[in-house]
Amino acid sequence: MAGIFYGIGVGPGDPELLTLKAVSVIREADVIIAPKTEKKEDSVALSIAAPYVKENVQIVKLVFPMVSDSDTLSEAWEYNKNVIVDLLKAGKKVIFLTLGDPMFYSTYIYVFRLLENCGYPIETIPGVPAFCAIGSKLGYPLVEGNDILSIIPATASPEKVDKALSITDNVVLMKVYKNVNDIVDKLHKYNLSGQAVMISRCGLPEEEVVCDLDSLKGRKINYLSTILSRRG
């Protein structure tokens, strides 16, 4: 039997937000690839999918380092690719779990590119992005009418962030954990702070909602944090 590889978005945190198709494939999996960083023993994506995982499935936790050293990254990626390909050669139905949507700021994108020419079928199953779940949870419309929405990684260069904030109507700021002080200042500068809200670990037990962004200054912000804002 030929192996097949699935990339599955598990959404931001609530297991009930997985699609019916995602649940169906998870329940039929032979192997589940659960990505994690070196600093953590557990996979958040796996914990979200846990209610649908059958007892006898093989769980393979692969480390995807969050480092900038190219040699370390290359070694890790090559090792992970070989592990997955060996499972596919054995005819396994292999699924890769990822937070949010697989094609949106996801580790899965790199895995997909590594495997797409390996000769095995790949199917990608979308998931609910964090900012969509946040908007629904808080009753916070993301865009209306002819609004322009910008999705900005806060880790981008200050010049790129400034340019986007200067012209957009509404904004989703991802990855705000590294430079939240600067981001809050920029939102004030471009009149985008009045209706801003940050939510961390949306749908997870440790979820936190912050409406006073100035109170974030000097704090350590969780990696899974997103800011929604609109010009006011």
Spans of all domains in the chain:
4-125, 130-230
CA angle 19, 29, 115 (to 5 degrees): 90
Answer whether CATH 3.10.50.40 is correct for domain 4-125. no
Q: Return the pLDDT at 64.
A: 77
Q: Return the pLDDT at 48.
A: 95
Residue 26: CA count within 13 A, CB half-sphere = 28
Average pLDDT, the chain: 91
Q: What is the mean pLDDT of residues 124-147?
A: 94
Per-residue pLDDT of 19-42, as tens digits, reads 999 999 999 999 999 987 765 567
CATH homologous superfamily, domain 130-230:
Tetrapyrrole methylase, C-terminal domain (3.30.950.10)
Same CATH topology for 4-125 and 130-230? no
Per-residue pLDDT of 155-165, as tens digits, reads 999 999 999 99
Q: Please state the pTM of the whole predicted model.
A: 0.88
pLDDT confidence band for 88 (50 / 70 / 90): very high
